[in-house]
Amino acid sequence: MAISSPGIGSKLDVNTIVTQLMGIESRPLAQLNTREISFQAKLSAFGSIRSALSQFQGTMSSLSFASRFEGATATSSDATAISASATARAPAGSYTVEVSALAQNQRLVAAGQATTTATIGTGTLTFDFGTISGGSFDAQTGRYTGAAFASAGSGVRTVTIASGSGSLAGIRDAINAAGIGVTASIINDGAASPFRLVLSSDKTGAANAMKITVDGDAALDSLLGQNPASIQNLVQTATARNAELTINGVAVTKPTNIVSDALEGVTLTLSKTNAGAPATVSVTRDSARATSAAETFVKAYNDLNKTLEDLSAYNADTKTGAVLNGDPAVRSLQNQLRAVFSQPLGGAGADLRSLSDIGIAFQRDGTLSLDATKMNRVMAANPGRIAGLFAPVGRSTDSLVEFASAKAGVVPGSYALDVTQLATRGTGNGIVPAGLTISAGVNDTLDLTVDGTAFSVTLGAGTYASAGALAAELQGRINGASLLGAAGGGVEVSASGGQLTVTSNTYGTASKVILAGGNGLAGLFGASPVRADGIDVAGTIDGVAATGSGQTLTSAAGLSVRVLGGALGARATIDYTVGYASQLSGFASGQLGAEGNIAGRTQGINRSVSLIADQRTALQRRLDGIETRYRSQFSALDVLISNLSQTSDFLSRQLAALDR
């Protein structure tokens, strides 16, 4: 009978023997496991580096804007009357500001109605915005006598009062829904006919008074018809008015109470008049802004450097290294990172070419430190230049040439600009004096295309006082066209010698004005008006022909400038720098990308881990075979020993029997 359990017959401990032998055979498997643990630790370490580098890149990207380093602060001695704010462009200084009048929007009030729901009439309301001049205004009646209205040409808007919407409430809702720059509301004044429609221009300023023409029912016209030069069915309760103030004794008039173009880089918000008690507005450079940004820069580098040092360090006392000690990818990353700091900036001013010029320097332990005292001293001597050490900055020596942008491949340096052609705007020009009498349905329409947008306008009927007045009417109608407004276009209409010219607001070859037709074309411009399409700016940047688009000129490498006017020929030098924060942001992005050192090293480690898995599988199959062989061999030995033992016992019994 066969032995069912190894070792029972022979007293041989087969399981223990095989287990011990397999422990020896399995040593290569343990070595593979140890190697895998090491590789996994490196993967985790590179994950930490990737995280630290990503955070570093985000910080450097946020510091790649000049606005992070340039700033100014404006304060007012009387914030209840005037508040102030400043941008980096504001020069330091002190200004005396006295406000004699606040800007105001016009308000018109209609005659009272018994209800808000009774039908008044239907038709079309045409709103024009402009300036009221001359004559006199009676504050008691709220009406003008002998005044004139001149359209500002900002855009004529229309509102349709359809059937079913002709009540006071319906008129209010139609005006508000049209979004024409007028707000309508209804006030109950408690009189016998208490409901009064109030119309308010959304914009302040003397040029935003309203003229309302009604084409429809007589009742609608008698309620809302409003022309300061003639019929006035509405009562003016607030006059369209400009803000009036003096700055250091200079009289200033502005259409709004937010004045952002009187002092360079300073915005004044006017809240009340302060005649006789002027306020002082003080503007100071915001040095703390640049210092804070520089501190952020230093901390971001030191945090990344600490991560790299901790993961690659060697402890001489314990003679042990960190998980990435000696790793070539980490050494390469550290060397490349420090190399960015070693190169002075190209194109920067001679006195600010490296971070050490403003007090940022490496310490003996490899960290960066900031000398705030030195930085403040440099900022006082070079306001506006600090940003160029950190962010991409372009500066022009010509006030009519602006730096626009630069692509990543543009090399820092100084670029000479030569202009051979200034950009122009497209025009449509009349060839005969314009007829000043416009008759409805006879000569009141004009078909035209502006910058590729085709539409038609209808002029208001009447005899205009001058070609200039007709030009303002036409400009308002064109700029009020919904199709042109949706396309973001606009025009200026001028008159010279009685002839009209329509000029697009845009520049370049896309700027075109085509006077195409309409019953008013011949009377306004002549049967065959002439046209001149816009031209793109042309010139060279650093002696190489650049590409023009409107007023923007772009080099082959991607440096773009805007030429706003001026003479032809050699015009400006564009000084372009790419600061350290921007360089480091690009460096970090590259390292984090698919072609970066971290990705390459991580991929290599992952391949090694995958190879270990394959080796482990193969080794395990081999060990299974060895164990099977060992068990087979020892089982056979067990049976053999058991048989020999039985034979020995038999012989022993036989010999014992012979002795008896």
| DSSP one-letter string for 217-249 | -HHHHHHH-B-TTS-B-SEEEE--B-EEEEETT
Cα–Cα separations (whole angstroms), residue 296 to 248, 349, 360, 392, 531: 39, 24, 12, 18, 57
The average pLDDT across 492-508 equals 97
- Which of these, 384, 425, 470, 404, lies nearest to 70 by C-alpha position? 384
pLDDT band per the 50, 70, 90 thresholds, residue 657: confident
- CB-count exposure of residue 144 (10 Å: 0-12, 13-18, 19+): buried
What pLDDT is attached to residue 2? Answer: 43
CA–CA distance, 390 with 345 (Å, rounded to integer):
10
Percent of the chain with pLDDT over 70: 97
> Which region among 267-276, 326-335, 366-375, 411-420 has the lowest average model confidence (pLDDT)?
326-335
Beta strands in 271-319 (DSSP E): 279-285, 314-315
CA–CA distance, 420 with 538 (Å, rounded to integer):
5
Pairing of strands 157-161, 136-138: unpaired
CA–CA distance, 131 with 207 (Å, rounded to integer):
4
What pLDDT is attached to residue 5? Answer: 58
Number of other CB atoms surrounding residue 609 within 10 Å: 15
pLDDT band per the 50, 70, 90 thresholds, residue 8: low
Q: Look at residue 404 and tell me whether its pLDDT is greater than 90.
A: yes
The average pLDDT across 262-278 equals 95
More confident residue, 534 or 587: 534
The average pLDDT across 255-261 equals 96
Report helix, strand and coil shares of the chain as percent, to nearest 5: 35, 30, 35
CA–CA distance, 130 with 210 (Å, rounded to integer):
7
> Which region among 285-294, 456-465, 512-521, 525-534 has the lowest average model confidence (pLDDT)?
285-294
| Structural element, H or E, at residue 214 | strand 209-216
pLDDT band per the 50, 70, 90 thresholds, residue 660: low
Q: Look at residue 640 and tell me whether its pLDDT is greater than 90.
A: no
Tokens read off for 157: 């808007």
> Which region among 120-124, 342-346, 560-564 has the lowest average model confidence (pLDDT)?
342-346
Q: Taking a C-beta distance cutoff of 8 angstroms, is the pair 470, 436 a contact?
A: yes
Pairing of strands 427-429, 530-532: antiparallel
Number of other CB atoms surrounding residue 428 within 10 Å: 24
> Which region among 63-67, 509-513, 580-584 has the lowest average model confidence (pLDDT)?
63-67
pLDDT band per the 50, 70, 90 thresholds, residue 350: very low
Q: Look at residue 347 and tell me whether its pLDDT is greater than 60.
A: no
More confident residue, 513 or 341: 513
Domain range annotation of the chain: 14-55+602-659, 72-102+244-285, 107-241, 287-391, 394-423+537-577, 427-532
Q: Look at residue 6 and tell me whether its pLDDT is greater than 70.
A: no
- Which of these, 197, 206, 260, 259, lies nearest to 228 by C-alpha position? 206
Tokens read off for 30: 């343990």
Q: Look at residue 581 and tell me whether its pLDDT is greater than 60.
A: yes
Q: Taking a C-beta distance cutoff of 8 angstroms, is the pair 329, 335 a contact?
A: no
> Which region among 61-65, 110-114, 442-446 has the lowest average model confidence (pLDDT)?
61-65
More confident residue, 131 or 387: 131
Tokens read off for 451: 């910058």
Backbone angles phi, psi at 596, to 5 degrees: -75, 165
CA–CA distance, 148 with 525 (Å, rounded to integer):
26
Assign 3-class secondary structure to 470-524: HHHHHHHHHHCCHHHHHCCCCEEEEEECCEEEEEECCCCCCCCEEEEECCCHHHH
CA–CA distance, 210 with 149 (Å, rounded to integer):
9
What pLDDT is attached to residue 321? Answer: 77
CA–CA distance, 540 with 555 (Å, rounded to integer):
8
Q: Look at residue 387 and tell me whether its pLDDT is greater than 90.
A: no
Q: Look at residue 325 and tell me whether its pLDDT is greater than 80.
A: yes
Tokens read off for 634: 């020892």
State pTM to two decimals: 0.74
What pLDDT is attached to residue 15? Answer: 82
Cα–Cα separations (whole angstroms), residue 37 to 30, 43, 230: 11, 10, 94
Number of other CB atoms surrounding residue 382 within 10 Å: 15
Q: Look at residue 37 and tell me whether its pLDDT is greater than 60.
A: yes
In the block, tokens 């060895």 appear at 626
The average pLDDT across 609-637 equals 78
The average pLDDT across 616-628 equals 79
Summary mean pLDDT of the chain:
90
pLDDT band per the 50, 70, 90 thresholds, residue 348: very low
| DSSP one-letter string for 241-280 | B-EEEEETTEEEEESSSEEEEEETTEEEEE-S--TTS-EE
Beta bridge partners of 183: 200
Beta-carbon contacts of 563 under 8 Å, excluding residues fewer than 6 positions away, are 400, 401, 417, 419, 422, 423, 537, 539, 551, 552, 553, 571
Cα–Cα separations (whole angstroms), residue 329 to 48, 312, 335, 417: 14, 10, 10, 43
- Which of these, 645, 659, 638, lies nearest to 8 by C-alpha position? 638
The average pLDDT across 141-169 equals 94
Q: What angle do CA 393, 65, 73 make, to 5 degrees?
A: 100
Pairing of strands 437-438, 513-517: unpaired
| Structural element, H or E, at residue 69 | none
Q: Side chain identity at 541, as an amino acid letter?
A: I
Q: Taking a C-beta distance cutoff of 8 angstroms, is the pair 298, 370 a contact?
A: yes
Number of other CB atoms surrounding residue 427 within 10 Å: 22
Q: Taking a C-beta distance cutoff of 8 angstroms, is the pair 182, 203 a contact?
A: no
What pLDDT is attached to residue 351? Answer: 59
Backbone angles phi, psi at 70, to 5 degrees: -115, 135
Rounded to 10°, the helix 372-381/287-312 angle is 140
More confident residue, 333 or 633: 333
Percent of the chain with pLDDT over 90: 63
Q: Look at residue 252 and tell me whether its pLDDT is greater than 70.
A: yes
Tokens read off for 353: 């070419």
| DSSP H helix total and E strand total for the chain | 12, 40
In the block, tokens 């000129």 appear at 553
Beta bridge partners of 198: 109, 185
First vs last C-alpha separation in the chain: 31
